[in-house]
Structure 1
Amino acid sequence: MDHRGLDEDGYFERDGSLGRIQPEFAGLVAAARGRLAEAYGNRLHSAYLYGSVPRGTARPGRSDLDLLIALHREPSDEDRDTAEVLGRGLDQDFPQIDGVGILLYGKERLLSEPERHDLGWFLACLCTPLLGADLAEHLPRYRPDSLLARETNGDLAALLPRWRARFQAASEPAEFRRMSRFFSRHLVRTAFTLVMPEWNGWTSDLAESAEVFGRYYPRRAAQLREAAAVALDPVEDPAVVRRYLDDLGPWLAAEYEARHGTKTPRPAV
């Protein structure tokens, strides 16, 4: 029986595990574990993998490595610099990956009430423990409801001006390529969570996310399928990114707000 990423009681099952990592990425993950421990020492509470590597769907030479790091306190500028150096080193040393993304937070923020249905959910449901004690033990179980939809992706309207500024400042093909991957991923996942409560399930597969969305919004289905393809194979064409900013993004932000509301403002950190 297909539970659509949920257990028999309708709660999220954790997405990914160390046991699913493909042999081609085993050395990379071992190196990441060792370098994280060495770089952060006793500042590190725990570290997690997320994305295609722990799901066992990574493509050698094309997928990136995604890490979440939880520190005992809020990260400093030095901690962020350390993450940048760490990510750059892994990317250079392992041709199996095309980039490294690192999220860095203090453990108190990850467990805080304002983040309960955003970062907390993300850690508990989409992240695979790599190092340290799992913070998910202090978080609740989650269902794919409208509250979760609102708190995870209900801020697209606020993000779009920043995306436009980033686009206007870009000039190099590599910059447009990075934007095409990042923006398309975010838009496809936002489109999926728009319909997630009605579909009553979860998938991290971008192609499947686009297909699910298309059942509810057939007029936008082709657009989402194209965005899912770009997320997997990013392009250097700025016209692709511009279409996200001028059409798909604004429409999706308005539809999201109408169905689920706007994400609750977070305290300044």
Structure 2
Amino acid sequence: MRSIKNIGHFCKNDCNGFIINDASLDKIDTLFYKLIEMVIDTYRQKLGSNLHSIYIRGSIPRGLGIPGVSDLDTVCVTNKELKDIDLDWADKAERELNNAFNCVNGVEMSFFHLNDICNTKLFSIYPL
């Protein structure tokens, strides 16, 4: 019987209230590398020039991934509005990745347009 591990947490903030990133490529178990490469390749092939960036979040990039238990949470940022991109392929891609890799308990592919990520109100409060 598996036991529940207390690995969740709230993200720490710096003195300005910004989230401190505790994720790192160096912390990722090599067991997950091939899957991450396949996810990145899938995003690149399907989105082409509409792809802006990809982020891996959750327990795996924090070095807390549990083989066969943790899921791979990914966030894709696009250059083009989501309504103008065909994303019908995403559910099938998730299923294929889940079937091909048993090192995770699922792959999550989520999509956001760059303008949705870059909140202009925030930048007017905290100029760069």
Pick aligned residue for 2:118 from 100, 108, 111:
111
Gaps of 5+ in 1: 117-139, 142-269
The structural deviation recorded for 1:28 is 1.1
- Asked if the contact 1:73/1:108 (under 8 Å) is kept, the reply is no
- Tell me the residue number matched to 1:18: 25
- Tell me the residue number matched to 2:7: none
In 2, the alpha carbon distance for the partners of 1:110 and 1:8 equals 22
In 2, the alpha carbon distance for the partners of 1:47 and 1:36 equals 8
SS at 1:30's partner residue? helix
Matched length: 115
SS at 2:82's partner residue? coil
Over the residues paired in the alignment, what is the CA RMSD in angstroms?
2.6
In 1, the alpha carbon distance for the partners of 2:95 and 2:120 equals 33
Q: Relative to structure 2, which stretch is displaced further, 55-64 or 7-16? A: 7-16
Higher strand share: 2
Q: Which amino acid aligns with 1:25?
A: F
Higher helix share: 1
Determine if the alignment matches structure 1 residue 32 to structure 2 residue 70: no
The structural deviation recorded for 1:17 is 1.6
In 2, the alpha carbon distance for the partners of 1:46 and 1:11 equals 20
The structural deviation recorded for 1:78 is 5.5
Pick aligned residue for 2:100 from 93, 96, 100:
93
The structural deviation recorded for 1:77 is 7.7
- Tell me the residue number matched to 2:68: 61
The structural deviation recorded for 1:38 is 1.1
State TM-score, norm by structure 1.
0.38
The structural deviation recorded for 1:83 is 2.0
State TM-score, norm by structure 2.
0.75
Determine if the alignment matches structure 1 residue 82 to structure 2 residue 89: yes
SS at 2:73's partner residue? strand
C-alpha spacing 1:100/1:112, structure 2 compared with 1 (3 Å): same
Gaps of 5+ in 2: 1-10
In 2, the alpha carbon distance for the partners of 1:108 and 1:96 equals 34
| Percent of pairs with identical residues | 30
Q: Runs of at least 4 residues of structure 1 off by over 2 A?
A: 4-12, 76-80
- Tell which structure's C-alpha radius of gyration is larger: 1
